Amino acid sequence: MKILLLGKNGQVGWELQRSLAPLGEVLALDARSIDYSGDLTDLNGLVSTVQRYKPNVIVNAAAYTAVDKAESEPLLAMRVNAEAVAVLAKQACLLGSLLVHYSTDYVFPGTGEKPWTESDTTAPLNLYGLSKHQGETAIQESGCQHLIFRTSWVYSARGSNFARTMLRLAIERDSLKVIDDQFGAPTSAELLADVSAHAIWAFQRQPGLGGLYHLAAGGEASWNSYARFVLNQAEAKGMALKVSAKDIEAVPTSAYLTAAKRPANSRLNTEKLRMAFSLYLPDWQSGVTRMLTEVLENYKC
Ligand SMILES: NC(=O)c1ccc[n+]([C@@H]2O[C@H](COP(=O)([O-])OP(=O)(O)OC[C@H]3O[C@@H](n4cnc5c(N)ncnc54)[C@H](OP(=O)(O)O)[C@@H]3O)[C@@H](O)[C@H]2O)c1
């Protein structure tokens, strides 16, 4: 099997380089790749990449993910998250390849408290959500074979992430305020990549499994309870913090002005995915604990 991976150095892309490796030959690209174009703003380049490499599976982990910046760069966000995805879908259709793509709970309006199902009505609150929704729609309307995974609150040990930021702030500052009225499930890039590989493998044997799925770790958290969990673990490992977990102040979303509106309810119902692929999705705490073990071991104060 030949797999084309786009966005190889993002959180999910990096983990996919590992998880896809046992499935076949992987051509992993990013926007700077030279022999083949992996730049999602270069639509002709993408067509040429797919036509030359002829992958059986295209995995698109590249995306414009700067949620606030997207409000002032709508054309770029739309190009990467919608137009380029439409091009990939069309090429997948022509080749008969499977397109694997990632989307977000930001396609929903964030109302209520119930975890969103795949059939709930979408109504994005911000430009990023709108661009991701248009990408999903382009794939579905193209008629290509696809797996779309909507996820939420992605983190990885690599690069910057919420947990690292909380640790840094708890060391540097005398107080810490964290939003307590947005709810979701912190989901590791590792889990997304592992489930993706499993789903591709299953799809090869049962193509009827194609479709749209919600994929997130089990349980739920607010940003505030997530931050408390992180600081609790750090304190338990003997890290010296100026702000301890119990002193994190809970504030509403309205305490922070951001360019893009955020949904309060990012909960995703993952039953469809778990049933279709016979999967168990561990609670978010187990992935965060694992990531923290790595981060805390290497943490430089
Ligand atoms: N992060 C989250 O909390 C979250 C939540 C829900 C859904 N998702 C979705 O999950 C998927 C993976 O997200 P992630 O967390 O891995 O994001 P990420 O770490 O921001 O990775 C995205 C990758 O896309 C690359 N990229 C941006 N513009 C590009 C272009 N024009 N051409 C080629 N590559 C380009 C970025 O490269 P540069 O860094 O060089 O720009 C980056 O490596 C995305 O579809 C995202 O929308 C993410």
Say if 167 falls within a structural domain: no
Q: Residue 70's pLDDT is what?
A: 97
Structure tokens at 128: 């990023």
Does any ligand 1 atom lie closer than 6 A to the CB of residue 154?
A: yes
Q: Is 135 a member of any domain?
A: yes
Is residue 42 a part of any domain in this protein? yes
Please give the average pLDDT of every successive group of 10 residues along the chain, which has 301 residues.
97 97 97 95 98 98 96 98 98 98 98 97 97 98 97 89 90 94 96 98 97 98 96 90 93 92 97 98 96 80 45
Beta-strand relationship, 57-60 and 25-29: unpaired
pTM reported for the whole predicted model: 0.95
What are the residues facing 28 on neighbouring strands?
A: 5
CA distances from 281 to 35, 158, 166, 216, 232 (A): 38, 22, 25, 7, 23
pLDDT of the residue at 281: 98
Total residues found in the chain within this entry: 301
Non-local CB neighbours of 160 within 8 Å, separated by 6+ positions: none
**Using CB atoms within 10 A of its CB, is residue 121 exposed (0-12), middle (13-18) or buried (19+)?**
exposed
Q: Indicate if ligand 1 lies below 6 Å from the C-beta of 104.
A: yes
Q: Which atom of ligand 1 is nearest to the CA of 42?
A: 31
At 301 the pLDDT is 45
- What total number of domains does the chain contain? 1
Q: Are strands 57-60 and 2-6 parallel, antiparallel or unpaired?
A: parallel
Residue 232 lies in a domain: no
Does any domain span residue 254?
A: no
CATH classification at residue 154:
3.40.50.720
The 8 Å CB, 24+ separation contacts for 202-210 are: 202/277, 203/98, 203/145, 203/147, 204/1, 207/145, 209/147, 209/276, 209/277, 210/98, 210/145, 210/146, 210/147
Sign of CA dihedral 257, 263, 265, 269: negative
Residue 291 included in any domain: no
Tokens standing for residue 98 = 């499977």
Residue 67 lies in a domain: yes
Q: Is residue 36 flagged as an active site residue?
A: no
Cβ of 30 closer than 6 Å to ligand 1, yes or no, is yes
Closest residue CA from atom 39 of ligand 1:
10
Q: What is the CA radius of gyration of the chain?
A: 19
The Cα 61–Cα 10 span in angstroms is 7
Amino acid at 292: L
Nearest protein Cα to ligand 1, atom 2: 154
Task: Print the domain residue range for 149.
Answer: 2-161+185-220+266-283
Residue whose CA is at the smallest distance from ligand 1 atom 21:
10
Closest C-alpha to 294, from 211, 189, 197: 189
SS3 state at 195: helix
Inside any domain, residue 193: yes
